[in-house]
Amino acid sequence: MASKTEAVPLSRYIVACVVGWLIPGGGHWLLGMPRRGLFIFFGVTATLVLGVCLGGSWVLGWHASKFAWICQLCSGLPGLIGALVHHIDIGRLTQAGINPATFAGYGRGVDFGLVYTGIAGGLNVLAVLDLIGRAEKGTQPATPLTANSPEGQ
Amino acid sequence: MANLLLTVLLGQTLVGPLEVPTTPAGLLWALPISMFIAMVYKAIKLEEFRTGLFVREVLLLFVTIIGFLLLVGVILAVIAHLITL
């Protein structure tokens, strides 16, 4: 009887994808690839933090650039927390009667910051797509079905 | 004192934008992002993950990215020179 390797459950990959989105590299760590996960976490987080250092906290949130903000959300919890803090800050300023736009930063630092934070999200999307690719491979049986095997006929 | 200084410096850094000069030196900010892109990409794409191989592949991709950026810069400079002749 032809042996058929048991496929890895899809649910495990779905959880890994969600964790990988929230914590960059977390999905790879969950699937038993801790070193890959560590480098992905360092790469994505360092890009985001350096972007905030370059452009200031203003680059987080939709006021600076809506497109960059969508990309920042893709970087998971770091981007979400940053956007939340930015939203709270804007709310406080507005409540105090201060126009938040007066705190906006301009110049190349902000431009570079937007690029850095946007690319951080893009890199995390790449990592999640890699998990989806691994899910497609991992959920398939290792033994290919051929015309000679009973399952393939 | 050192902690206070660090807190103030870090807080200041994260609040306001850094001064990036409008000189060719400002383009050096392409180096860190190229390194991070190379690191994440190779961490994803390498079939066999060994530290030595990973470092070599990351450096190779980093040099390739910078090389192509320089090439694009040279081509654009030549086009700009030809247009302004």
Does the structure show a pLDDT above 80 at B69?
yes
- Nearest by CB to A35, which of B17, B22, B49? B49
pTM, entire model = 0.79
Residue A147, in any domain of the structure: no
- What would the pLDDT profile of A12-53 be if each residue is shown by its tens digit? 888 999 999 999 999 999 988 899 999 999 999 999 989 888
> A31: which chain B residues are within 8 Å (Cβ-Cβ)?
none
Confidence tier at A73 by pLDDT (50, 70, 90):
confident
> Is B71 among the domain residues?
yes
Q: Are A34 and A79 in contact (CB under 8 A)?
A: no
Q: Please count the structural domains in chain A.
A: 1
What's the gap in Å between the CA of B64 and the closest CA on chain A?
Answer: 18
> Does residue B64 sit within a domain?
yes
**B59 lies in some domain:** yes
d(CA A146, CA B82): 61
Tell me the C-alpha to C-alpha distance, in Å, between residue B19 and each of A28, A52, A84, A110, B27: 37, 13, 26, 9, 13
Judging contacts by C-beta atoms under 8 Å, the chain B residues touching residue A109 are 17-20
Do the domain assignments include residue A149? no
Which range marks the domain in which residue B61 is found? 25-83
Q: Tokens 């079939």 appear where?
A: B47
Q: What percent of chain A has pLDDT over 70?
A: 79
Structure tokens at B69: 């950026």
Least-confidence region, from A26-40, B4-18, B34-48: B4-18
Cross-chain Cβ contact B43/A36 below 8 Å: yes
Domain annotation covers residue A152: no
How many distinct structural domains can be found in chain B?
A: 1
In a domain, A2, yes or no: no
> Is A3 a member of any domain?
no
Residue A145 lies in a domain: no
> Is the model more confident about B60 or about A151?
B60
Domain boundaries, position A62: 10-140
